[in-house]
Structure 1
Amino acid sequence: MNSKTAHTAITRRSALVLGAGLAAAAASQTVACAQPAREPVPAHSPTRGRFLVNGVRNVRRIAKLTGPDAMNDTLKVGFEGGDLGSMFTAGHRTYFLFGDNFADRAPGQTGGGGGIWHSNALAWTTDTNPADGIRLDGWVTDVNGKAAEILPGKHEPDNTGEVTKIPTQGWAIGHTLYAAYMSVRHWRAAGEWDANEARLARSTDTGRTWTILRDAAWPGTSGFVQLAHAEVVSEGRRWMYQWGIPSGRFGPIRLMRMPYSTGGVENPRHWQYFAGLDRRRRPHWSSRLSDAQIVLDRKSAELSVLWSPRLRRWLLTTMDANSPAVLYEGINPWGPWSEPHTILTQEQCPGLYGPYTDPRYVSHDGTRIYFTLSIWDPYNVFWYSMDLIDARRR
């Protein structure tokens, strides 16, 4: 794959870019520590009623995580330009799943493209102080010490087969790691693409090698091509809830769940899709994908979800109609969900996408949330923070 071909294959994933340059942001001044061990998360909010978040403020760029002049020397592992960086925590490690990345890029190049193209990469950290950025401890590497493509993409010409395999989320069940990915077939206009399918892969050796699961998959036309996860306890059982969207950045959000076990995750016969509420406002679950109901009818993009123990609410980050990065507050996993609270606009930060959070990187008092954010120019991943405006505080 030469540089020109790689650039053509990837460039259509660009976020909507308004204007030129990047918004300046002050460095974070408040030190925060990682959250302690997570408590079981209830499916039903114990504090029903009104929304508690009035918006966000003090959005700050803290550090550049990848690429030239980043706080991590990613060039030594052949990661000069790349995106995404969705996170999941397993034990003492937090893993970062990156998307299409390149080891050889022209100076000043904008967007995805370059030589030595990998569809994905995996790094990890044990850093528990997010206030000054995240120091990556290691990567899954190949025999040459370069960041490995953990799920090799076929890199076929656009709209002929599989262009790339992009990880959309990961999680752990005990010592077993899972990565969800989408197989992209065709890049369309900005923020639009077609997928062949979405599928799960498994690792039992801390991410060094991966096995693509034969049965754990969704059609490329389904509402579960891109996922966000959270561990939930409902009626005494542990579940892995998954919020899903179609391919692209303009789809509504649906909800499903898997039993919190390796067998439950890997066998679709155990999966359940949110199919609406009964007369007593209790959730109804169905084994049929076709029964999956929309829980948030907004034009959504790459997403992540976490539970706020302080607010007793769900917090979902994504984009709205391929433009601003936004946060929604949910009273239950299926809603109701608030109107979007703007985190950053495209005018403030041209080319932004992929605001990903993880429960480990929330301040002890629950008011400050840290997140990764991809920026199309310079096509790398940055570390940000934002403060929640709590309606209960004057």
Structure 2
Amino acid sequence: MHRRTASSRRALVAASVVVVLGLPGCAGGGPPSVDPDPDKPFVLEGVSKLTEIAQLTGPDAMNDTASFSVAGTDLGSMVNVGDKTFFFFGDTFGERDPESIGGQGGFWRSNVAAWTTDDDPTDGIDFEGWVEDDIGLAGALIEGDHDANGAGGEVTKIPTCGFAIGETIYVSYMSVKFWGEPGAWDANRSALIVSRDDGRTWSPVDGVEWPGDSNFIQFATAQVTEGGEDWIYFWSIPSGRFGGVQLMRVRATEAAVEDPSAYSYFAGLDGDAPQWSDEMRDAETIVDGTIGELSVMWSTYLERWIMTYSDAGSAYIREGITPWGPWGEAIELVPGSEYPGLYSPYLNPRYVTEDGRRIHFTLSLWDPYNVFWFSADLERAD
């Protein structure tokens, strides 16, 4: 049922050191229409045929990432822009001891990105290029300050998700202030950066940010159509891996995305009708639990929303009847007992096969601190 590489069969990592550098994922694709009917039945009964297909980054990977000075990295959330898919990675190290575990090493960049036009996920993903620095290595989209942990400044800027409006690409990041106990960290804020030249250069989106103690630090996004308009929905969690999910939205235009007053927050239901508030304090939690590194997309196979995430142990999947719920019970997607130190299972609606039944996703492993490519089948009730 599982095919595992030698590097993923290293000595087991204790569950207490699962993750320090994790974040939620995201996906793009054609916008589904929002159906607010909450009374449809749940149809996801389970998952099967979990398969580790390939290692995407680092030594022994199917891609030559060493040529771009990527020896260790994590995350790998995805954004589709035309026929390209961008993969956004977190803290990245160009030099690492072969026995290193977790985020450590030399030539540290807070975030990097690769791109591909490979649309066949069945044998892994071939990277065709990277966002490069002046000498042709993988360069930071926006560099963190790299202050000392606990100094009260900014340790790093971690990309948490992205989305595209036409050919304009937005990436959210969290400014990390302090890495604490495993699965716990503090943020200064979350914010957006933008590229208008196919990912070659990036700049901050002025004024669009959320406070570090809010529930809007790590995002998963999807574009939807609702009421005849296109929107970007953001499923959001706080810093770390111990909070629930809240929801916000903004119209899918560059002007709206770059206007901090254009965002609204899911504030509960009036009957079956969602209520939206301009005030972040009115946001209601739509999924309770220990939610980390989440990713959300519309499943054409289930005709339901699906959410993946990790909880400092295993990776899970849930189905949602509407974007705000109800959300079903968590189903184990990848067992932590088989893949210790796993985190950030990220989906992309471009990477499904078997008429949508088979999902393909990135998954990070703390040892060897690199990104892998998996697939699994969704089991749907008749």
Query: TM-score normalized by structure 2?
Result: 0.92
Aligned counterpart, 1:303:
294
Quote how far apart the aligned CAs of 1:117 are: 0.4
Partner of residue 52 from structure 1, selected from 19, 43, 47: 43
Where do residues 47-126 of structure 1 align in structure 2 (5 Å cutoff)?
A: 48-126=39-117
338-347 or 39-48, which moves further after superposition? 39-48
Aligned counterpart, 1:242:
234
Give the 3 Å change call, closer, same or farther, for CA 131–227 of structure 1 in structure 2: same
Aligned counterpart, 1:198:
190
What residue identity is the alignment partner of 2:191?
Answer: R
Where do residues 138-217 of structure 1 align in structure 2 (5 Å cutoff)?
A: 138-160=129-151, 161-217=153-209
Quote how far apart the aligned CAs of 1:18 are: 3.8
Contact 2:71 2:92 in 1 (8 A): yes
Aligned counterpart, 1:267:
259
Quote how far apart the aligned CAs of 1:45 are: 5.5
379-388 or 206-215, which moves further after superposition? 206-215
SS of the residue 2:133 aligns to? coil
| Equivalent-residue separation in structure 1 for 2:16 and 2:144 (angstroms) | 32
| Equivalent-residue separation in structure 1 for 2:206 and 2:16 (angstroms) | 44
Matched, 1:346 2:336: yes
Aligned counterpart, 1:384:
374
| Equivalent-residue separation in structure 2 for 1:75 and 1:243 (angstroms) | 34
| Equivalent-residue separation in structure 1 for 2:302 and 2:330 (angstroms) | 17
65-74 or 38-47, which moves further after superposition? 38-47
What residue identity is the alignment partner of 1:68?
Answer: P
Aligned counterpart, 1:329:
319
SS of the residue 1:263 aligns to? helix
Quote how far apart the aligned CAs of 1:44 are: 1.6
| 1:187-232 C-alpha deviation (Å, 9 max, x unpaired) | 1100000000000011101111111112110000111100000011
Number of residues of Structure 1 aligned to a counterpart in Structure 2: 360
| Equivalent-residue separation in structure 1 for 2:208 and 2:249 (angstroms) | 13
Contact 2:296 2:306 in 1 (8 A): yes
Sequence identity (%): 49
Give the 3 Å change call, closer, same or farther, for CA 16–195 of structure 1 in structure 2: farther
| 1:235-277 C-alpha deviation (Å, 9 max, x unpaired) | 1111000000000011100000010100111111111100000
What residue identity is the alignment partner of 2:349?
Answer: P
Q: Unpaired runs of 5+ in structure 2? A: 1-11, 18-27
SS of the residue 1:303 aligns to? strand
| 1:93-127 C-alpha deviation (Å, 9 max, x unpaired) | 00000000101111211111001100000110100
| Equivalent-residue separation in structure 2 for 1:39 and 1:114 (angstroms) | 39
Matched, 1:287 2:278: yes
Quote how far apart the aligned CAs of 1:38 are: 5.1
Give the 3 Å change call, closer, same or farther, for CA 353–17 of structure 1 in structure 2: farther
Where do residues 4-23 of structure 1 align in structure 2 (5 Å cutoff)?
A: 17-18=14-15
What residue identity is the alignment partner of 1:269?
Answer: S
Contact 1:47 1:312 in 2 (8 A): no
Tell me which stretches of 4 or more aligned residues in structure 1 moved more than 3 Å.
Answer: 15-20, 37-40, 45-48
Q: Unpaired runs of 5+ in structure 1? A: 1-14, 21-36
| Equivalent-residue separation in structure 2 for 1:206 and 1:17 (angstroms) | 41
Query: TM-score normalized by structure 1?
Result: 0.89
